[in-house]
Amino acid sequence: MIQGTGSNVGKSLLVAGICRALTNRGLKVYPFKPQNMSNNGAVTDDGGEIGRAQALQAMACRIPSSVHMNPVLLKPETETGAQVMVQGQRLTSVAARDYAKLKPTLLAATLDSFEICSQQADIVIIEGAGSPAETNLREGDIANMGFAEAADIPVILAGDIDRGGVIAQIVGTKAVISKTDANRIKGFIINKFRGDPTLFLDGFKTIETLTGWQGLGTVPWFGDSHKLPAEDALDIKSSGSGGFKIVVPQLSRMANFDDLDPLAAEPGIEICFIKPGQALPGDANLVLIPGSKSTIGDLKFFRQQGWDIDLKAHIRRGGKVLGICGGYQMLGQSISDPLGIEGPAGSTKGLGYLDIKTVMEPQKQLTKVTVTHLASGTQTQGYEIHIGHSDGPDRDNAMFNIAGKSEGARSSDGLVSGTYLHGIFGDDSFRNAWLAEQGAAHSGLNYSATVEDVLDRLASHLEQNLDIDAIIALADQR
């Protein structure tokens, strides 16, 4: 199990790279994360939902994704509450304080899923969440040491030298956790080193001396990590400087923002994330409103930033708009939530650019689909991951067709479009056709091959800088 000294120290990337390295050695490898918190989900091959990082790690293992790779997924809906997904399906929505009571009851599901993965693999690489040094969360824990203890798993601790103080990060973790938990940690990794790693040899030895843990290597900064799908909102940033500018308002509960990764990889495309309080720039070619975990709440947030006024001006200038999932729902005439699924029951006026109405429903759609892009005739694959049903006249002018049925909608003037489909831009043929439709240049980029190449280079990077043989030796031999 790879745990970290804190959030965003690079655990997900380390696990993905180790998974690919071990897979390249001929081992059958499974990734696993008992509990994840992310609004960047992925639909699995067995019809559920897991965190995007585990879907990438499954790709690194060259195996189909499964709900058992991430049995508990928390999807923040408000500042103090989240939707709880268990083994791929929605269980409930709870306040953070109430989750502390629910959490211990979920240990059985995490152990069940872990056993299922273990039975199919030579080795399982497990990713922790946050840090085991958060001792206030230790009771009932299922994300770090609580799970490791219950499953009797050895732990490797990763520290982030780029943010500074890595000696204190690692030594301090040992100082605050229990002796039992400290004994479970068998080694450590220094991650994100910039410069000459030999300059840290004395610091490396200091950590070994003060902790008694085996040093497994210092990993230099991997510059191409941004080319892999990101899960953490902390990783969101504008990119590119091409001739076609796509502006993305950064919603408070933005979800599945990895939809933009293939577009960001195109050399002729500039992706510009607009932070709260900033205006949508007037030189945008297209405004893309992304998915949201809380559509009604984020529609209110959208208006609070004045983005509705900026969007009106953009459309008046002839600019195009695309809404995906929650963004699609916002562009309609209204969003009704009669059962109070997202908050107080009621109806909210939409932005009004698509002649559709949305009704929130308790059943969550989690489906992989093959669709036809009506404007070009191109077939592509995508996935739905949403609650709510949208209908209205503009669906007669839909973007896609699924088995003879319309999917999405388009305004009569063709400027505003919407779809429930995620993942569509990863298909090279569709992306090229869609960019051509927008009047944008495309490069013929093979996005899937790019991701595969980065995973292989990441694996090689870790093989060169980590003692992979020692990591295998530390693994619990069952």
Residues 6+ positions from 267 with CB-CB distance below 8 Å: 240, 242, 443, 445
What distance in Å separates the CA atoms of residue 372 and residue 177, rounded to the nearest whole number? 54
Coil/strand/helix, residue 341: coil
Coil/strand/helix, residue 74: strand
The secondary structure element, H or E, covering residue 251 is: none
Q: Which of 68, 422, 442, 461 is catalytic?
A: 422
Handedness of CA 232, 233, 237, 243 (dihedral sign): positive
Count of residues for the chain? 478
Catalytic annotation present for 61: no
Catalytic annotation present for 117: no
For tokens 């732990």, the residue is 155
CA-to-CA separations, 203 to 166, 259, 321, in angstroms, rounded: 9, 40, 52
Query: Do 236 and 260 contact (CB within 8 A), yes or no?
Result: no
Whose CA is closest to 103, among 82, 72, 79? Answer: 72
Q: Which of 325, 386, 442, 461 is catalytic?
A: 325
CB-count burial class (<10 Å; 0-12, 13-18, 19+) for 195 = exposed
Query: Do 189 and 162 contact (CB within 8 A), yes or no?
Result: no
What distance in Å separates the CA atoms of residue 418 and residue 425, rounded to the nearest whole number? 14
What distance in Å separates the CA atoms of residue 439 and residue 293, rounded to the nearest whole number? 31
What distance in Å separates the CA atoms of residue 122 and residue 26, rounded to the nearest whole number? 10
Strand partners, 273: 248
- Catalytic residue IDs: 325, 422
